[in-house]
Amino acid sequence: MTMKITSIRQGVVPISSQIANAYIDFSKMTASVVAITIEAGDGRQATGYGFNSNGRYAQPGLLAERFIPRLEEAGELAAHPDGGFDPIPAWTAMMRNEKPGGHGERSVAVGVLDMALWDAAAKLAGLPLWKLLANRYNGGKADDAAWVYAAGGYYHPGKDIDGLVEEMKRYLGMGYSTVKMKIGGSPGMAVREALLLDLGRIEAVLKLLDGDGSRLCVDVNGRFGLHAALSYAASIQGFGLRWYEEPLDPLDYSTHATLAEQYVPPIATGENLFSMVDARNLIRHGGLRPDRDILQMDPALSYGLVEYLRTLQMLREHGWSARRCVPHGGHQFALNIAVGLGLGGNESYPEVFAPFGGFATGVPVQDSRVRMPEVPGVGFEAKNELYAVLKDL
Ligand SMILES: O=C([O-])CC(=O)C(=O)O
Ligand SMILES: [Mg+2]
């Protein structure tokens, strides 16, 4: 049976807020949203939805000028050997006449469309995406739940240490046992002063977590140079934190290798690596340790799941387990991938980036684990606020 894309619509929606990390504020953050309708040879139709994660902006120009027209011109597409829709030939059509390297933000535009293709593929199969992925790529084995952690702890005008601790307390009340906070966001301050300030913030949150460092992640958003990263490393080493995230520029692999020689607990990075090749450079040259470090490549920013499947293959070839992957972005797409392909878990943003973050409405988090609904596709239709945005396309 062949399949055909019959319509593609796109829009731009704000996900702006007053929060900031150590590198950017989100006052003008936007996201692209798309809807793609696919017709199977037997006349059945499904509409899949996609969007990009926070941190990169909407890509209406790239979508309108290159990627949507190529998909529209793709014509009849070969089905997957299981008889269902296969996003891979559609993805290949989108990427025609694109050179390698210099990934820029076209990976974001392609990621938005890729998400919609997978949502439609799973809907045509009448399966939740996590089940389709387990069937196609994981010998039919899916996890029964995903580990999730609550990411927040942003800088916000007027927010002090008490405000930070109150926020973390709310996350514990929602069923999360591991939380993440921002550090390194003191522009213009000397490293020593900034470090003292951050140690006070970290210790206040650790107190709430009964001093258990394995329940706290800290995120620098790539702000530090090697000197600051090493100074912080020496001071936080003893806390045994769950991970020390994006301490350095994401593309500066050799400084990661130097840090990894000095800092024993886990380091996490990868949310700003947008291709399998970039991730492979990190693995080859970043000195990261497959027994503890965490890889956060986000399929919704980095050419989608078609490329992420290649990244997982590359990791296997380099002796890394998929369990070391905990994608950035806090969206249901990565949650399906985590459960269906056996990743280590997924990020979650209980209080920021609505309506794109979070899970199906009414699904509880228990002991930092969340189960998947049995809804066909990614599960957007079971997430009321998000579906209200998508269905308007
Ligand atoms: O603040 C951001 O850009 C998001 C981020 O780093 C994360 O979710 O880890
Ligand atoms: Mg991060």
User: Does 187 have pLDDT greater than 90?
Assistant: no
Q: Ligand 1: which of 23, 54, 246, 349 to mutate, most ligand atoms within 8 Å of CB? A: 54
At residue 231 the predicted structure's pLDDT band, cuts being 50, 70 and 90, is very high
Given a cut of 80, is residue 32 above it in pLDDT? yes
Probe residue for ligand 1, chosen from 149, 219, 244 as the CB with the greatest number of ligand atoms within 8 Å? 219
Per residue in 196-229, pLDDT tens?
999 999 999 999 999 999 999 999 999 999 999 9
Residues with CB under 6 A from ligand 1: 21, 55, 151, 219, 221, 271, 328, 347
Residue 70, pLDDT above cutoff 90: yes
What is the value of pTM for the model shown? 0.97
CA distance 20 to 99: 34
Record the tokens describing residue 14, joined without a space. 């704000």
3-class secondary structure for 304-360?
Answer: HHHHHHHHHHHHHHCCCCHHHECCCCCCHHHHHHHHHHCCCCEEECCCCCCCCCCCC
CA–CA separation, 362 and 52 (whole Å): 23
Ligand 1 atom showing the smallest separation from residue 151 Cα: 8
288, containing H or E segment: none
**214: left (phi > 0), else alpha (psi -120 to 50), else beta?**
alpha
Q: How far is the C-alpha of 85 from the C-alpha of 380, rounded, in Å?
A: 19
Helix axes 276-285, 253-262, angle to 10 degrees: 40
373 Cα to the center of ligand 1, angstroms:
26
Q: What is the pLDDT of residue 357?
A: 85
pLDDT (tens digit per residue) in 121-168: 999 999 999 999 999 999 999 999 999 999 999 999 899 999 999 999
| Segment (H or E) for 262 | helix 253-262
Domain ranges of the chain: 2-126, 146-390
Q: Is the pLDDT reported for residue 114 higher than 90?
A: yes
CATH pick for 146-390 out of 3.10.180.10, 3.40.50.1860, 1.10.600.10, 3.20.20.120: 3.20.20.120
Please name the helix (run of DSSP H) or strand (run of DSSP E) that holds residue 108, with its range, or none: helix 106-125
Name the one residue in this structure whose structure tokens are 């392609």.
110
Residue pair 226/187 in contact (Cβ under 8 Å)? The answer is no
Under DSSP, the state recorded for 363 is P
CATH number corresponding to 2-126: 3.30.390.10
| Helix orientation angle between 191-208 and 161-173, rounded to the nearest 10 degrees | 40
Which pLDDT score is estimated for 13?
96
Write down the pLDDT at residue 360.
85
Provide ipTM, 2 decimals.
0.99
